Amino acid sequence: MAFSATPVALGEGLAKLRSIAAMYRTMWLPAWDAACQAGTTASIAQSWGINITQNLTQMQALADLPGMAQYARDQLNAQGYDIVAEYNTMKTALLAVRSWIAAGLQATGTFGADATTCAPTAASYTPAQLAPLRTLLAAAYNSIS
């Protein structure tokens, strides 16, 4: 007998999509904003970009399941609700955060080496340097309800 690789059911896919979005709204985005308020390092912020890349890849695969948009409207009992537009707004906001991390941190930081161990050290960023990122985090947060 072979391992069963049946496609993800729509109900399971919608639950996973909503779960990932809820993690951004309740945990990741507020934590990242708090880190920006205190100042953070490039390596930490870059891990946020990796988080977004990995989760959006999974979310897009689920969103692309045939019939997902109609199934979601049926489950929410809201036929007039444009869930595709709402998903795209959230995705665009998260991609803006990722893009700023990729471009903004490279432009404002430097990497060096520890004088004693020669281990690489990541640049640190002040809250003022991270202010544009905080604006994007707020937009991403507000794109999820």
Where are the domains positioned within the chain? 10-29+41-142
Tokens read off for 77: 């009992």
Neighbours of 18 (CB within 10 A): 14
- Asked whether residue 25 carries a pLDDT value surpassing 70, the answer given is yes
Tokens read off for 28: 């990741």
pLDDT digits (tens, 9 = 90+) for 34-80: 999 998 887 788 889 889 999 999 999 999 999 999 999 999 999 99
Query: Measured between alpha carbons, how far is 33 from 100 in angstroms, rounded to an integer?
Result: 14
27-31's contacts with Cβ under 8 Å and 24+ in sequence apart are: 29/137, 29/140, 29/141, 29/144, 30/141
Tokens read off for 4: 């069963």
Q: CA-CA distances (angstroms) from residue 26 to 18, 71, 135?
A: 12, 25, 17
Are 92 and 37 contacting, i.e. CB atoms less than 8 angstroms apart? no
Tokens read off for 72: 């979601």
**pLDDT confidence of residue 3:** 63
pTM of the prediction? 0.83
Residue 120 three-state SS: strand
Tokens read off for 15: 């639950």
- Asked whether residue 123 carries a pLDDT value surpassing 90, the answer given is no
Tokens read off for 108: 């404002």
- What does the CA dihedral 63, 134, 41, 100 come to, rounded to 10 degrees? 60
- Asked whether residue 100 carries a pLDDT value surpassing 50, the answer given is yes
Strand partners, 74: none
